[in-house]
Amino acid sequence: MAREREARVALLLGLICLAPTLLAVERPPGLGDVREVRTWSYAEYTRVVVELTKEVRLPEQGLIRLAADTRAGRPDRLYLDVPGIWVGRRYESGIGVGDGLLDGVRLGQNTLRNTRLVIDLERYGHHRLYTLPSPARIVVDVYGKRGRSRGDSGGRLPTELRRVHTVVVDPGHGGRDPGATGIGGLREKDVNLSIAKKLAARLEDRGFEVVLTRDRDRTLTLEERTAAAESSGGDVFISIHANASRRSRTRGIEIYTLDANHERHSLDVAARENGVPAARLDPLQRALARIQVGELASQSERLASLVHENVIRGIQQRNRSLPDLGLKKGPFYVLFMSSMSSVLVETGFVTNKRDAKLLRSAQFQSELAVQIADGVDRYRQQIEAGPAASARLAKGAAGVRRGDGIR
């Protein structure tokens, strides 16, 4: 082995001395690198994340599926050609997964300017492919019935039979990401955490199992938020945020579910919460448009509408002058990436003087927590009463309306 390495070094030195142009062929300039490859195994799918040093535009055809090649000893697999990325031989031997769904993940230099991602499959149902910015990532979620059961759960019940037991509460931002900054330096991340902790306590009072994606001021990636939610087997996901506007007079509460909505106002909020310019939400919107989320979407809308009703009623009963900006839809990464009924609450504007005063107040935070928890409790009652009864109960609940361009 040592001799082989010596020989290679000699060859390389030879190339350097004799033909500098050949070195350029080794790695063309201007390419990005693969920074890291990670996988997460959940009950319903396995997530593969390839982190890159620069953003890429994926080919239109996306992932291509290849049948098993028994002669070459290759299993059923998916591959994707990633342009403008150099990986060299670093991941040639691949990363083993072996979770009953994926065998493993390999990356190789397909052409000088093209890296090929290969996902070796054990089982396959369908997949979704999308990109995330800052840092640039390619995400592949592979869904399917696992070959062998991991742990005791052996997969989840169909959504309509699911009980509502575990609630994931997600305080937006944190650590190096302060979120919006408002009046008197009020930081969104602090408001979010404070309300989320109160909400967790109120949900526990009602017998829910509660998982907080963070319980202190720390930085969390999107994948880490989703991992906390998915690995806890959560039934409901509630992301807590506070709003911001360039107009200091803008104030009020708005509640969001997931949708690829081109309405201007929702895009602005989603862009801020996603940490990207609105124009860059296009890939996510295209991914959303391709995905069938029927049952999950309608359950999320029901959850959102009950939370919304409760919060607005609670505010009115207390004579709080906080405007109802309504129930809206938008392309939020954090709602897109988990597989449970999910809702995002924008609790008020840190950039408005009166809202900021409310958001600072422990009393107001508690009122909000009680009302959100009541909304989740009503959602549980509807789900557990069964489809027929829940349809009856849902009648009269406010429908989802599109954003109305308040800014």
Binding site for Zn ion (CB under 5 A): 172, 179, 241, 273
Nearer to Zn ion, 214 or 241 (CB): 241
Nearer to Zn ion, 241 or 308 (CB): 241
| Chain residue whose CB lies nearest Zn ion | 241
Q: Are 315 and 322 in contact (CB under 8 A)?
A: yes
CB of 276 to Zn ion, least distance (A): 13
CB of 247 to Zn ion, least distance (A): 18
Nearer to Zn ion, 122 or 254 (CB): 254
Rounded Cα distance, 65 and 382, in Å: 41
CB of 29 to Zn ion, least distance (A): 38
Nearer to Zn ion, 179 or 234 (CB): 179
Rounded Cα distance, 391 and 378, in Å: 13
DSSP lists the bridge partners of residue 114 as 83, 111
CB of 334 to Zn ion, least distance (A): 9
Q: In what order do the strands lie in the sheet with 324-330?
A: 209-212, 166-171, 236-243, 341-349, 253-258, 324-330
Nearer to Zn ion, 131 or 192 (CB): 192
Nearer to Zn ion, 50 or 240 (CB): 240
Q: Are 169 and 240 in contact (CB under 8 A)?
A: yes
CB of 349 to Zn ion, least distance (A): 11
Distances (CA, A) of 174 to 194, 195, 258, 373: 12, 13, 22, 22
Distances (CA, A) of 42 to 162, 166, 178, 255, 392: 17, 16, 29, 28, 34
CB of 203 to Zn ion, least distance (A): 21
DSSP lists the bridge partners of residue 107 as 117
